[in-house]
Amino acid sequence: MTSLNEAKRDIQGFITSGYGHTYQAAYLFLRVMDTAQAKDWLKQVVPQVLTAESWRKNDQPCAPGEDRPPKIYPERILNIALSFEGLAALGLSDASLRTFPPEFQQGMGASPRSLALGDIGTSSPDSWQIGSPTSEPYHILLLLHAGMSADDPSANEAEIQKFVDEVISGLQGVEVVHTEWGYRRPDDKEHFGFKDGISQPRLQGINLYDGDGKPIKDGIATGEFILGYLNAFGLFPSVPVVAWEDDPENILPLYENPRQAHPLSRSGHLKDFGANGTYLVYRKMSQNVPAFWHFIQDEVERIDGAVTSERMIWLASKMVGRGPNGDPLVADLAALKHQNDFTFAESDQDGLHCPFGSHLRRTNPRDSFHPVGAEEAAATTAKHRILRRGRIYGDVLFGLEMLDSGDLTQLDELLSLEDDGAERGLHFICVNASIPRQFEFIQSNWVNNPHFNTLYQSKDPIIGDNGDPEQPASYMHVPTDTVRVRTQPLPRFVDVLGGGYFFMPSLTALRFLAG
C-alpha cells in the first residue's frame, strides 16, 4: 500500500476540503443513458477531478522562523460520486456490487433506513424532490464549486453558471435529471441566522497544521473517513472488491485488508475497489425560518411574560448550542483561542452553559457523555464523527448579520417575519467511511433519541423529527441556576426534501469504471 502522502493524488479533494475559498456550488444529478458512451465521457472527465494534493508547492514542515509557501487556490473544482444504481449502470458486476454495505445498497429512502432517520410525515421519502423511491434513480452526482469573490456574489453566480454550462455541454451517454444550486455566505451563516460548519474533525496524515501553522497532534484516525486506513478502532474498514478476472488491465490495487473476508474471497484473487474512496451522504433540508423564530418569540413571552430581543437570542442560542456569531456557550469565552477550542467535562458537566439537548452537544458530545468519564466519552465521540461539506440554498428571509450586531433594537424584524413561500435551507453533505456507524448513528441515536444523555422526551430542537402526531411530544430542556426551563412541545423546523447515499471512488477506481 502506498503512503498516505502519495495517496493524496488518488483521493478526491472533496473528502479532505470543504473548498471554503469558493462561494458557489452546483450539484448535478445524472442518469446513464448509454453505458459505452458514459464510460467514454468518464474517461475524459477523470483528469479534471480535483485530488487531495496540497495547494502549496511544498507542504513539508518548515524550519523555525521559515514561512510556509502560499496556497494556490483552484478556481474551478469538479468531483464525482456514484449511487449504487450508478455503479451497476456503469457495468460493475453483481458480485462486486454485493460487497458494498447493505445500507448503501438499500439507499437512504428505503423504509428500514428512513424510519430510523426520522424521515417521516412531511419528510417522507415518497414526497422527496430528489431520490424518492417512487421516481427513477439517479446514477452520478457531479459536485461543482467555483466563484472566489467575497465581495461580488453576482460574479460568483455567473462563474458557477458558466462552469455548469461547459460541463453539461461535454456530457455524453448521460443526462442531467436534476440540478441543485448552493452557496456560502462570507459569514458562514445558515438561514436561522447562526454561523455553521465550525466544528470539523482533523484527519491524521491529511490535516498537518492548525490555523496557527503548528503541527496537529489530535487528529481523528484517517480510516474514519477514507477507506484503506486504520479507523478509530484500530481496524481497517470493510471495502468493496472486484474479482481478479474483472480487472484484466490490472488497474486496481490488490486487496490486502487483513481483517475482512468477502464471499468472493480467494487468496490473491481480489482487487481493492474501495481503497482511497469513501461514502457521501446527501440531504436537501428545508428550513422553516418564520416557524423557528415565532416559536422562540412565543416561548420567551410564555416564560418571561414579555418579549425582548436579548431573551429571544438567548433561547435560540441554547437550542443551537452557540451564539449567532458562532461563539460556543462556555463559562469563560474570553479564554478561548478559537471558537472550537473547548470541552464540556470540566467546565459544563451540568449543561448550565450549553444544554445537553442542544443541537451542538447532541451532534458532537465531545468529552461529556453519561454515564462514562471524560476520556471514554471523547473516545466514543471520535468513533461517530463526520466531515460536513454542505452549502445553503435560497435567499435569506431577513438580515442575518443583525443577530450578532451590537444594536439589538434592529432585531425587532424577527417579530414580524412572515413566510414568503420561497424555498430555503441547507444542502447537507457529509463524508464518512461507515454510513451506519457515523451519519446514521448520529441521526438516530443522538439527534432523534428522546433519552439522549439522560434526557427525557427531548430530541434535537433544530433538526429532530419533532411534531409528529403519532409520536410523544418532544421538549427543549434548559438548565439554569434556579429552575429548569422546559419549552412547549417542539414543532419540526427542518424537513427533508431529498437525499441519497453515494460512493466517492478514488481516481484509480474511476479509471477502472471508465474501462
pLDDT band with cut points at 50, 70 and 90 for residue 513:
very high
- Give the span between the Cα atoms of 362 and 446, in whole angstroms: 6
* d(C-alpha 172, C-alpha 179), whole Å: 17
pLDDT of residue 205: 87
Q: What angle do CA 288, 293, 295 make, to 5 degrees?
A: 95
Q: What local confidence, expressed as pLDDT, does residue 481 receive?
A: 84
Residue count (the chain): 515
Q: What is the pLDDT of residue 10?
A: 98
Predicted confidence (pLDDT) per residue in 2-50, tens digit: 688 899 999 999 999 999 999 999 999 999 999 999 999 999 999 999 9
d(C-alpha 220, C-alpha 432), whole Å: 12
Spatial distance between the Cα atoms of 167 and 77, rounded to a whole number of angstroms: 11
pLDDT score, position 71: 87
| Residue 46: partners with Cβ closer than 8 Å, 6 or more residues away | 80, 507, 510, 511, 514
Listed residue (196, 191, 192) closest to 360, CA to CA: 196
Residue 136 in grid coordinates = 427513477
Cell numbers 436534476 correspond to 178
| Nearest to 239, CA basis, from 222, 258, 220, 267 | 258
**Dihedrals phi, psi of 211, to nearest 5 degrees:** -65, -20
Q: Are 426 and 190 in contact (CB under 8 A)?
A: yes
pLDDT tens digits, 316-364: 999 999 999 999 999 999 999 899 989 999 889 999 999 999 999 999 9
Least confident stretch, 50-59, 371-380, 485-494: 50-59
pTM of the model: 0.95
Give the chain's mean pLDDT: 93
Q: Which residues, 6 or more positions from 485, have their beta carbon under 8 angstroms from its beta carbon? A: 303, 477, 478, 479
The predicted pLDDT at position 251 comes to 97
% of the chain surpassing 90 pLDDT: 82
**pLDDT tens digits for range 69-96:** 788 999 999 999 999 999 999 999 999 9
The string of pLDDT tens digits covering residues 101-159 is 999 999 999 998 999 999 999 999 999 999 999 999 999 999 999 999 999 999 999 99
Confidence at residue 2, expressed as pLDDT on a 0 to 100 scale: 65
Name every residue whose Cβ is closer than 8 Å to that of residue 176 and which is 6 or more positions away in sequence. Answer: 28, 29, 30, 168
Over the stretch 457-483, which tens digit does the pLDDT of each residue have?
999 999 999 999 999 999 999 998 888
Q: Where are the beta strands (DSSP E) in 138-185?
A: 140-146, 174-183
Q: Which three cell numbers stand for residue 501?
A: 447515499
Return d(Cα 154, Cα 158) in angstroms, integer.
6
Q: Provide the terminal-to-terminal Cα distance of the chain, rounded to the nearest Å.
A: 23
CA atoms in the 13 A half-sphere facing the CB of 236 = 17
pLDDT tens digits for range 242-283: 999 999 999 999 998 755 556 566 666 899 999 999 999 999
pLDDT in tens, 376-435: 999 999 999 999 999 999 999 999 999 987 666 777 788 889 999 999 999 999 999 999
Show the cell assigned to 48: 479534471
φ/ψ of residue 486, rounded to 5: -125, 125
C-alpha closest to that of 203 among 175, 179, 238, 231: 231
CA angle 430, 435, 440 (to 5 degrees): 90
Measure the CA–CA gap between 356 and 377, rounded to whole angstroms: 14
Can you tell me the distance from the alpha carbon of 248 to that of 244, in angstroms, rounded to the nearest whole number? 7
User: C-alpha angle with apex 497: 413 to 391, nearest 5 degrees?
Assistant: 65
Q: What is the CA radius of gyration of the chain?
A: 23
